[in-house]
Amino acid sequence: MSAGIDPGRVRVRLAAAAGRVGAVEVASERPSVALLLRGREADAAVRLVPLLFALCGKAQGCAAMLALAAARGQECVTHLDPAIQTEVMREHLWRWLLDLPPQLGEAPMREEFIAAVGWIAQARRQELGALLAGPRIADLCKRLLTTEDVADPRPALLPALDASASLTCWPTLDAQFCRQPHWRGNAAETGAIARRQGRAEIVAQAFAARWLARLDELRDWAADRARVGAGGTASAAHVGAGRGRSLVETARGLLMHEIVLDGEHIGDYSIVAPTEWNFHPQGPLAGWLVGRDAGDRDVLYTFAARAVAALDPCVRWELEWL
């Protein structure tokens, strides 16, 4: 978020026992946007939403507008939004060209990133495809698959949903659900890896699988084969009198907005962000860390940083020892 608002953090707390990580606490600690928006004139509140988020501003803004329209009775069928798609591709490129190489002992691909962002803006798919098929990316893939990882053959993944289908799963979004969303009572992961379900075999290595899923989405865009359900998918449904819900697939996964109108003002506003799904207390991160050797805390921190990066939070993260 911006405008002087603390965006919050993902806090990871570890406790050692007999030289190994014995307990892990994961918490996504972020301020409630509802407190800022409640009582505001509805159209003004929606215009404010994208200004509150430093990342995925297009997706947040679109989700807000769609939820407000749905609250007024104007539903939106599931579709790919080109502006959100472009934002998703930029985020994936940032991760692959700037964030991933240093994790693998390589220099960031800054020039390639600048060029690729321009190609996406101009829909120059062939140029991006050539970069993604080139030797630098191939080398990163090899390093990714040979770097220490954890086994994760069957991750708990959120299924594909649109706004209408989500009403059956969750009739309303309350504050507790926004803090710790669940799929049928259990933690579930969202993001590119969840969107790839049924399309390709998921590699058994947890970190590699998540990075490669993002690369697959980039390659789909470059080959012009992205379809509804990919990053950039959006929909909205009328929930009831003065209530509307939108779903948007962002770079990091499923984003949900729900607006309750009080006349032409915001009576209540709920947001469920991908970070709340992916950093759920019972999510994958704790399982990856429990049992790790805690003898060298610098080594463990490096491993934890790679684990967090694989899940890609939209806020900073902190590690604490209990």
Q: What is the pLDDT of residue 5?
A: 63
pLDDT per position as a tens digit, 180-195: 999 999 999 999 999 9
pLDDT value at position 54?
A: 75
Instruction: Indicate the range of 23-32, 133-142, 229-238 predicted with least confidence.
Output: 23-32
CB 50 within 8 A of CB 64: yes
Q: What is the mean pLDDT of the chain?
A: 93
Identity at 158, one-letter amino acid code:
L
Tell me the per-residue pLDDT of 249-282, one tens digit each, with 9 for 90 and over: 999 999 999 999 999 999 999 999 999 999 999 9
H helices within 16-109, ranges in order?
A: 33-37, 42-48, 57-71, 82-93, 100-103
Model confidence at 1: pLDDT above 60: no
Cα separation, 286 vs 26, whole angstroms: 7
**Under DSSP, is residue 300 helix (H, G, I), strand (E, B) or coil?**
helix
Q: How many other CB atoms are there within 10 angstroms of residue 275's CB atom? A: 24
Considering only CA atoms, which of 3, 58, 54, 7 is closest in space to residue 28? 7
CA diameter of the chain: 60
**Per-residue pLDDT at 173:** 92
Order of all β-strands in the sheet with 265-272: 76-80, 233-240, 243-249, 254-262, 265-272
Q: Which CATH superfamily is domain 9-321 in?
A: Cytochrome-c3 Hydrogenase, chain B (1.10.645.10)
Please state whether beta strands 9-17 and 316-321 pair in parallel, antiparallel, or not at all (unpaired).
Answer: parallel
What percent of the chain has pLDDT above 90? 86
What is the per-residue pLDDT for 237? 98
**pTM of the predicted model as reported, rounded to 2 decimal places:** 0.94
Q: In 10 A of CB 75, how many CB atoms?
A: 16
User: Residue ranges of the domains in the chain?
Assistant: 9-321
For residue 178, count CB atoms less than 10 angstroms from its CB and return exposed for 0-12, middle for 13-18, buried for 19 or more.
Answer: buried
Integer-rounded Cα Rg, in Å, for the chain is: 20
Q: Which tens digit of pLDDT belongs to each residue from 11-31?
A: 999 999 999 999 999 999 887
Contact 219, 128 (CB under 8 A): no
For residues 99-108, b (16+ Cβ closer than 10 Å) or e, as one string? ebbebbeeee
Distance, CA of 174 to CA of 155 (rounded, Å): 26
Query: Buried (b) or exposed (e) across 180-211, using 16+ Cβ within 10 A?
Result: bbbbeeebbbbbbbbbbeeeeebbebbbbbbb
| Token pair belonging to 190 | 């969202």
pLDDT of residue 2: 44
- CA distance linking residue 309 with residue 99, whole number of Å: 9
The C-alpha atoms of residue 253 and residue 204 are separated, in whole angstroms, by: 20
How many CA atoms within 13 Å lie on the side-chain side of 18? 3
Lowest mean pLDDT among 1-10, 61-70, 102-111, 122-131: 1-10
